[in-house]
Amino acid sequence: MNDSAGGDGGAPGADTSAGDGTRAVRAGLPEPVKHEPTLPGPVFAAHFHLPGDPTGPYTYGRDENPTWTHLERAIGELEAPGRDDAETLVFASGMAAISAVLFSQLRAGDVAVLPDDGYQALPLLRAQLETYGIEVRTAPTGGDAQLAVLDGARLLWIETPSNPGLDVCDVRRLVEAAHARGALVAVDNTLATPLGQRPLELGADFSVASGTKQLTGHGDVLLGYVTGRDAEAMAAVRRWRKIAGAIPGPMEAWLAHRSISTLQLRVDRQNATALKVAEALRERPEVTGLRYPGLRDDPSHEVASRQMRRYGCVVSFTLPSRARADRFLDALRLVDDATSFGGVRSTAERRGRWGGDAVPEGFIRLSVGAEDPEDLVADLLRALERSAD
């Protein structure tokens, strides 16, 4: 590797012929500069020296920050490898990123189609959009039900796999139908991560995600991002970020970038264990409604295997009652009873405790971490035994 400024040209992580691990460890890194760190540290700056005309790239800390720039390049290289037309913007959280797309693209009188089984804050967004005179229609994630409500829509929002039900929709088919009607398509890519699914390659206009989950993977950062391929639409998203000011702190952005270097390691380990966990749970009589898109007999497997390269680290299932589910969670030793997902430490929760999802009382969302698979499976099976009446 060159030890002086400049290097041999081309961002090292942007080599589209390299494997996912190689691209993840190098994603977004600047060319090597002698005596500079590999990944420059967080730039803590509310403002930058700016004599004369106020031109960019760095003027005021709500508009741009060099630490974001590196992170945005890293995410862009993974979400849209080799695409010069794609742009990525980072946000303070997944919700900030989702809001930025919805509120920058929709106007009073527009129609948006949202999932009725997606992340539980979507109904809050729906209510907010409606107060601005935007008509919101909903459809379940699986089964192409969106097709029946697309006429006249300006934007189709899909979340695949969906949280917490893990349904999957055929992104290409829905994009084709939406574009034929002049509607934009945004895909929430949180569960899949960019190593599991690349919505822009499937034709979507935006890939939007919470980076709080498996992308950063340590349960210590809130982050969101939007990757889009239409310059005008992305200019509106950028403008929204400036207006709303929902920006990530430099420390969070830097931590996120550092975490992305281990994305392939974490994702491969966690997702392989998730499949083992799902296979072990499938054998248990008290477990019903088991969902994991990577299971061959999962209702989503066929469509998932056409568009996903990895199936995620979340497994969901139902135990016979609320009390049984609570006892099960209580008996686990290696799995924290906590919300969120995607972290290296396994977590699980009884999703019904929040009241926002249409799930049975005994429904468990389990996020599989990076523990040894044998230990984790043993802990889950032991907790199932101990929680029996």
Ligand X SMILES: Cc1ncc(COP(=O)(O)O)c(C=O)c1O
The footprint of ligand X (CB under 6 A) covers: 93-95, 119, 159, 163, 188, 190, 210, 212, 222, 224
Least distance CB 95 / ligand X (angstroms): 4
Least distance CB 171 / ligand X (angstroms): 15
Closest chain position to ligand X (CB)? 94
Least distance CB 384 / ligand X (angstroms): 25
Complex with ligand X: residue 146 or 163, whichever CB lies closer = 163
What is the full DSSP assignment across 268-321?
HHHHHHHHHHHHHHHT-TT-EEEE-TTSTTSTTHHHHHHH-SS--SEEEEE-S-
CA dihedral of 263, 267, 270, 275, whole degrees rounded to 10: 180
Complex with ligand X: residue 119 or 206, whichever CB lies closer = 119
Complex with ligand X: residue 29 or 255, whichever CB lies closer = 255
CA pair distance 209, 189, nearest whole angstrom:
5
Least distance CB 96 / ligand X (angstroms): 7
CA pair distance 247, 244, nearest whole angstrom:
8
Complex with ligand X: residue 109 or 245, whichever CB lies closer = 245
| 8 Å CB contact between 189 and 141 | no
In Å, what is the CA distance from 348 to each residue of 141, 157, 278, 332? 23, 27, 14, 9
Least distance CB 97 / ligand X (angstroms): 8
Q: Tell me the Cα Rg of the chain.
A: 21
In Å, what is the CA distance from 197 to each residue of 189, 204, 238, 357, 384? 7, 11, 24, 24, 33
Complex with ligand X: residue 219 or 224, whichever CB lies closer = 224
Complex with ligand X: residue 12 or 211, whichever CB lies closer = 211
Least distance CB 225 / ligand X (angstroms): 10
Output the six-digit token pair for 122.
């979507």
